[in-house]
């Protein structure tokens, strides 16, 4: 597990049966910070390993039997290194990222061309064929082909694949920095 509350609390609540759509509502209450999360943590405290080495290495060495990690790292360990890893998509947490062009950027036109190109469906789909980070545009998802160099479709390995999004939680970027119980 990661060191810190972010993602650990969300996953604990979902493991306890809280639907993804309700996780941040529950976490906004003082009760969420006491009994359920603490009780679950107390049950597994002695079995937790956190932050010392990357999850794929801990899994490969047999130090842990399960982990949560960035899906691309697990995918690469399975594909490139032949590790017998399988991603379970239930209760995945996803985040959005984006480009920022600073005000007054000296190469504004080139920066905007770069942003336009990288956010177009075709380049996003092509990038997803090399690493299993899903394209953020729905229009790109249908364009994703096979895992580069194989005849195996990449789609089922992507977090944004429709079946993998069932029960997914959109990370609240403000939670943990500004959201605290009253």
What distance separates the 2 farthest-apart alpha carbons in the chain?
55
Distances from the Cα of 25 to the Cαs of 5, 11, 28, 181, 182, in angstroms? 16, 14, 5, 11, 13
What percentage of the chain carries pLDDT values higher than 90? 55
Residue 51: pLDDT band with limits 50, 70, 90: low
* Nearest-5° Cα angle at 164, 13 to 98: 85
pLDDT at 35: 58
Which has more confidence, 180 or 122? 122
The pair of structure tokens assigned to 56 is: 């794929």
| Per-residue pLDDT reduced to its tens digit, 103-136 | 999 999 999 999 999 999 999 999 999 999 999 8
pLDDT at 147: 96
Spatial contact of 17 and 29, defined as CB atoms under 8 Å apart: no
Distances from the Cα of 9 to the Cαs of 15, 103, 117, in angstroms? 10, 36, 37
pLDDT at 74: 95
| Per-residue pLDDT reduced to its tens digit, 84-99 | 999 999 889 998 888 9
Residue 39: pLDDT band with limits 50, 70, 90: low
Mean of pLDDT values over 61-78 = 91
Spatial contact of 56 and 69, defined as CB atoms under 8 Å apart: yes
Give the torsion sign (CA, 41, 45, 50, 56).
Answer: negative
For the question of whether the overall pTM of this predicted structure is more than 0.85, the answer is: no
C-alpha span between 27 and 33 (Å, rounded)? 7
Residue 182: pLDDT band with limits 50, 70, 90: very low
Mean of pLDDT values over 147-162 = 94
107-139: b (≥16 Cβ within 10 Å) or e:
eeeeeeeeeeeeeebeebbeebbebbbbbeeee
Mean of pLDDT values over 15-23 = 91
């Amino acid at each position: 597990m990661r060191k810190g509350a972010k993602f650990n609390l969300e996953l604990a609540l979902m493991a306890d049966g809280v639907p993804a759509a309700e996780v941040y509502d529950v976490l906004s209450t003082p009760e969420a910070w006491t009994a359920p999360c603490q009780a679950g943590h107390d049950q597994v405290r002695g079995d937790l390993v956190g932050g010392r080495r990357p999850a794929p290495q801990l899994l490969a060495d047999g130090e842990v039997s399960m982990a949560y990690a960035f899906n691309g790292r697990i995918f690469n360990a399975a594909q490139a290194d032949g590790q017998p890893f399988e991603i379970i998509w239930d209760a995945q947490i996803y985040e959005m990222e984006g480009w920022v062009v600073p005000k007054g950027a000296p190469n504004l036109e080139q920066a905007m061309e770069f942003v336009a190109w990288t956010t177009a469906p075709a380049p996003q789909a092509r990038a997803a064929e090399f690493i299993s980070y899903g394209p953020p545009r729905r229009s790109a998802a249908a364009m994703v082909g096979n895992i580069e160099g194989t005849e195996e479709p990449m789609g089922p390995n992507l977090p944004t694949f429709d079946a993998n999004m069932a029960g997914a939680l959109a990370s609240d970027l403000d939670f943990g920095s500004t959201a605290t119980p009253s």
